[in-house]
């Protein structure tokens, strides 16, 4: 068995990092790099891409609503045509930074409220897939398994990378529990590492209400802005290795 381990990085706010990027890059195989709309800027994009090259980590574009005020976690109403243009703007910005660093974008992953919206919203899911296909036909799109965006990716000829979150709780329907809910953001690296192994080896996870959910996982995510993200990623890598799971980039 094998699985990708990704982390959301390059998420600087007013030039200040929200994660220990230097410590996290050696532990992961893919980095979803903020493209400036929820966090990050030209300098952070280049710095992140240089770290990706140094540690042989795949570069992903972490696209978002234009929402720095809420770190991309406010559910905004954006017309599909506007959303397509905004996604293309973000992809172009990261592509320029990646080229300067000697690498390229290998996949696209929506962030925050946009990620959650396209689990169930057909129009926005299609807008995301349309933008990615326009930018680079056949570019892999990462998201929640069984979501509307998975269907949209297929319709636009995009490979789909099924993602699971080691540090976030699930609802009974397979969607992520809102961050404001008690227990939605998980802590404790040993428990999280064991959960990650179960996700990959058994294809299951317990929802907040105790429901046993089935999962198909290509990539596990550790959120970089979680305070104990480095310890969490170290524990997940160690537990996967002990379980005989190879950690390798999905693309």
Position 200 scores a pLDDT of: 97
pLDDT in tens, 14-65: 999 999 999 999 999 999 999 999 999 999 999 999 999 999 999 999 999 9
Position 227 scores a pLDDT of: 82
In sequence order, the 6+-apart residues with CB closer than 8 A to the CB of 120 are 147, 148, 175
Say which range, 114-123, 150-159, 169-178, has the weakest mean pLDDT: 169-178
**Total domains present in the chain:** 1
Kindly report the CATH number assigned to the domain that includes residue 145: 3.20.20.370
Q: For residues 121 and 114, give the distance between their C-alpha atoms in angstroms, rounded to a whole number.
A: 10
Q: For residues 146 and 201, give the distance between their C-alpha atoms in angstroms, rounded to a whole number.
A: 19
Position 226 scores a pLDDT of: 86
What are residue 225's phi and psi, to 5 degrees? -85, 5
Among the listed residues 86, 35, 88, the one whose alpha carbon sits nearest the alpha carbon of residue 59: 35
Q: For residues 217 and 200, give the distance between their C-alpha atoms in angstroms, rounded to a whole number.
A: 6
In sequence order, the 6+-apart residues with CB closer than 8 A to the CB of 49 are 33, 59, 94, 97, 98, 100, 101, 103
Paired tokens of 27: 């532990």
Q: For residues 138 and 62, give the distance between their C-alpha atoms in angstroms, rounded to a whole number.
A: 17
- Domain limits for position 189: 2-247
Q: For residues 41 and 77, give the distance between their C-alpha atoms in angstroms, rounded to a whole number.
A: 24
């Amino acid at each position: 068995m094998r699985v990708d381990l990704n982390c959301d990085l390059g998420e600087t706010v007013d030039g200040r990092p929200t994660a220990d990027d230097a410590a996290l890059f050696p532990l992961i195989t893919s980095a979803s790099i903020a493209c400036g709309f929820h966090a990050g800027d030209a300098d952070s994009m280049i710095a992140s891409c240089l770290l990706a090259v140094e540690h042989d980590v795949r570069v992903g574009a972490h696209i978002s609503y234009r929402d720095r005020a809420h770190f991309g976690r406010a559910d905004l109403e954006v017309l599909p045509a506007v959303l397509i243009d905004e996604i293309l703007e973000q992809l172009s910005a990261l592509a320029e930074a990646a080229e300067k660093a000697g690498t390229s974008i290998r996949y696209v992953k929506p962030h925050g409220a946009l990620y959650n919206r396209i689990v169930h919203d057909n129009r926005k899911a299609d807008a995301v897939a349309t933008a990615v296909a326009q930018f680079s036909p056949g570019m892999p799109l990462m998201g929640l398994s069984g979501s509307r965006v998975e269907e949209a990716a297929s319709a636009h000829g995009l490979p789909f990378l099924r993602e699971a979150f080691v540090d976030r709780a699930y609802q009974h329907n397979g969607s992520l529990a809102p961050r404001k809910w008690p227990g939605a953001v998980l802590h404790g690296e040993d428990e999280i590492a064991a959960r990650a192994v179960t996700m990959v080896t058994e294809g299951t996870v317990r929802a907040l209400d105790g429901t046993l959910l089935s999962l198909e996982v290509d990539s596990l995510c550790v959120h970089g802005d979680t305070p104990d993200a480095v310890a969490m990623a170290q524990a997940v890598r160690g537990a996967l290795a002990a379980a005989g799971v190879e950690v390798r980039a999905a693309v």
